[in-house]
Structures are given as C-alpha cells and as structure tokens.
Amino acid sequence: MKKPKLFYLHNDNRSLVNRLSDEQAGKVLKAIYNFADGGEIEETGDIAVDTVVDVFTNVIARQYEAYNEKCEKMRANALKRYNKKDGSATACKSREDKDKDEDENKEKYEDKDKEKDKEKDEDKKENENKEKEKREIENKKEKEDNSSLSDFSYLSNSPCNQVDYSSVYNSYNSICSDMVTATDSLSRRCAVDNAMELLDGVTFDELFERVQQSDFLTGRNGKWYGCNFDWIMQPEHLQKIMSGAYDNPLPKKPSPPPYTPPRRQTSYDLREVMKLDTLDFVDEEGWEKKKFGING
C-alpha cells in the first residue's frame, strides 16, 4: 500500500483523547505515528489507550485506502491518454525521450533565431549599400555640376556671379555643423541666387542660425533627419523657415495662483462682550438700545 505524506485526525474524536491522562495521550500519539509509518499496531496493555488507538488507526487506514484508489484512477487515466491509436500496448514516452524532444525543439528555436538574425544582418547590409550608392550618385552629380561651371562663362555679367558663394557655403558648414556639409555646384549657386531674392534683406547667417536653433530641422528631437543645404534653399521650405514654422515652441507660462480673498479682521471690545454674556449692563441707563443696537 502506498502511503501518503500526511494523514488527518478528525476533531470528532477529540473527546476520547480528553478522557485520557497526559501520559496515556502521549502513548496514543506515538502509537498513531507508528501505525502511519509502518502499518503495525503495538499493544500497550492499557485498555483505554488501545481502544483510542484502534479508533484512530481505523480512520487512517480508510484514508490510505482512499488515497491508493485515487492514485490508481489517475494512473489508469494517464495510461489511456498515452494509448496508441491502433489499440496496441501503451507507449508512454520515457523521461529520456521527453528530454530529447525538448532539446530538439530548443535547437529548432535557436535555428529560427539565427535565421532571423541573419536576415536582419542582410537587411542592414542592403540598406548600407543603398545609402552608399545614393551618396556615390550625389557625389557624382556634384562633380558633374562642378565640371559644368566652366561652361557658363557667358554669365559673367549676371548678378549670380556677384555673390560670394564660398562665404555662403562656409557660413552653412560652420553654423549648421550637425548637417551634411555643402560644396560648390551650379545648382546650388542658382538656389542661392533665388534665396537672396526671397530673403529680402535677411542675411544667410541669420537664416542658418534659425535653422540650427530648430530642434526639428537639426534632428535633435529625433523626429526627422532630412534637412540639408539643398532642402533649405528650396523656396517653399525657405519661406516656412523664415515664417517661424520650424521654430521651437515657446515654454508654457505658469498659471497664476488661485485668488484668495483677504481675511477680514474684526476687533471687539472684550469688556462689552463680557457685559453681553453676563447681562451686567442691565442696570445701566439705555441698556435696551445698547443690546439691540438702537441709535439715538
């Protein structure tokens, strides 16, 4: 018989123990534990003690029988769950097989994680290659623009050639240090000429200072990183910058404290108050007027 780890002593039998002496109760307790551990009942020679022990051991024996019946039912149900579909003998997996399956599943998950990491690395390399190609195209375009500057010598009398473009580029590169540097090109020269007409007296230094102070345009707020010299020189963007559309929001003014009305202070003549409380002024002339506030 399989023994459970615990047994119950019902409170209904407490009256039997209360009729015994402390020594007899101790013998009963020892006999109960000996039976629960070894299943043997030892005769003590004391009829009262042996009678109480029989009562408790019978209860414990019934508990053990119920426990073993429950274990058998659970075992039978477990075997049913692991029976083969063809009705052959049960095929319960051993602990080793289960551990093996767990290891295989773990390896599958690890392989999937490795594949995901590999895909991420490939995507990262692909994005880097795209960025590299984009930069190469931009650099190539700039070189072509620079090489074509010599082909526009007929514009020597144009107002465009009266602008110190290098100073504009240097101003941008020194003030907007968080952005990509700008080099000379024909398209940028024309953009600078158009910007001069739109600025209407505002210097490029003031324009670039305003750009550098904007958390959005410089990317300091982490929302956008696409601002550069060419983007700034576009007419629609230039107008928005000068109108303050990209300026940092002003800090909110603190709300004024709630209005608290001044506390009204009232002074009293304590002697008059004491007279009102004790009616000592009744004998005085005109006390009715004084009590009811009548003037004259």
Residue 44 near residue 31 (C-beta atoms within 8 A):
yes
Rounded CA-CA distance 267/141 in Å is 90
Look at the pTM and tell me if it is higher than 0.85: no
One-letter amino acid for residue 149 of the chain: L
One-letter amino acid for residue 219 of the chain: G
pLDDT at residue 230, rounded to an integer:
93
| Residue 41, pLDDT above cutoff 80 | no
Question: Which tokens sit at 173?
Answer: 């590169």
Token pair 């895909």: residue: 119
Q: At what angle do helices 235-243 and 186-199 cross, to 10 degrees?
A: 40
Instruction: For the chain, give every domain's residue range.
Output: 11-81, 99-149, 158-243
Rounded CA-CA distance 265/20 in Å is 83
Q: pLDDT (tens digit, 9 = 90+) per residue, 222-258? A: 888 889 999 999 999 999 999 889 998 887 777 778 8
Question: Which tokens sit at 279?
Answer: 């009616």
| Residue 27, pLDDT above cutoff 70 | yes
Who contacts 278 (Cβ-Cβ below 8 Å, separation ≥6)? none
pLDDT at residue 173, rounded to an integer:
94
Q: pLDDT (tens digit, 9 = 90+) per residue, 92-147? A: 555 666 667 777 777 777 777 788 888 888 888 888 888 888 888 877 777 666 56
Q: pLDDT (tens digit, 9 = 90+) per residue, 66-75? A: 878 888 888 8
Rounded CA-CA distance 220/179 in Å is 11
Would you place residue 3 in the very low, low, confident or very high pLDDT band (cuts 50, 70, 90)? low
pLDDT at residue 157, rounded to an integer:
43
Phi-psi region of 268 (alpha: psi -120 to 50; beta: other; left: phi over 0): beta
Q: pLDDT (tens digit, 9 = 90+) per residue, 141-179? A: 776 665 655 544 434 444 444 678 999 999 999 999 888
Rounded CA-CA distance 296/290 in Å is 10
How many residues belong to the chain? 296
